[in-house]
Amino acid sequence: MVNSIVARNWRLLVLALFISWWGGIVPVHAQNTQVFVAADTDLIESVETFQFRFAADQKRAIALSKSLRCPQCQNQNLIESNSPVAKDLRLKVYQMVNEGKSDQEIVEYMTSRFGDFVLYKPKLEPSTYLLWWGPILLFILFGFIAYFSIRKQI
């Protein structure tokens, strides 16, 4: 009974899984329609002309900013993004590196403020098991469905 339902409605199952993976459908009126936001000129200048004490600190701050995601842009890191939020966070990272904070302390500060979303590589912990193991489980599930569907037809 279950196999026949799955066999008849496999397209709907795939669509439902895709939508749940993608994050759902966002209505047009709920999307952010503001494309460009005017940035504070002083903020831009302070980020672009920030003076590090050591060249190694500058390299570390840039590498760290590349590993953190912009909360506003979502698919760009703090270096690539031109949003005011990213510039503010980039300046905060630069200041914390200049103060001598470790990478772990800076990442903890950012995740306490914005959650694990700002990490490109989420931690492997119970709350992220589905994120890490979900694709493998789905692959195995589709393999079983395909196997039993083909076996039933033969």
- For residues 84 and 104, give the distance between their C-alpha atoms in angstroms, rounded to a whole number: 24
Average pLDDT across the chain, whole number: 76
Position 120 scores a pLDDT of 78
Looking at the 3D structure of the chain, how many domains does it have? Answer: 2
Burial environment of residue 131 by CB neighbours within 10 A (0 to 12, 13 to 18, 19 or more): exposed
Residue 76 lies in a domain: yes
90 and 140 in one domain? Answer: no
Residue 67 lies in a domain: yes
- pLDDT, one tens digit per residue, over 70-86 is 888 778 888 888 888 88
Of 59 and 42, the one with more pLDDT: 59
Domain that residue 85 falls in: 42-121
69 and 136 in one domain? Answer: no
Residue 115 lies in a domain: yes
- pLDDT, one tens digit per residue, over 115-127 is 888 887 777 888 8
Rounded to 10°, the helix 129-153/10-22 angle is 170
Report CA torsion sign: 16, 22, 23, 29.
negative
- pLDDT, one tens digit per residue, over 7-22 is 566 565 565 555 555 5
65 and 101 in one domain? Answer: yes
92 and 150 in one domain? Answer: no
Domain with residue 117: its CATH number is 1.10.8.640
83 and 154 in one domain? Answer: no
110 and 49 in one domain? Answer: yes
State if pTM tops 0.75: no
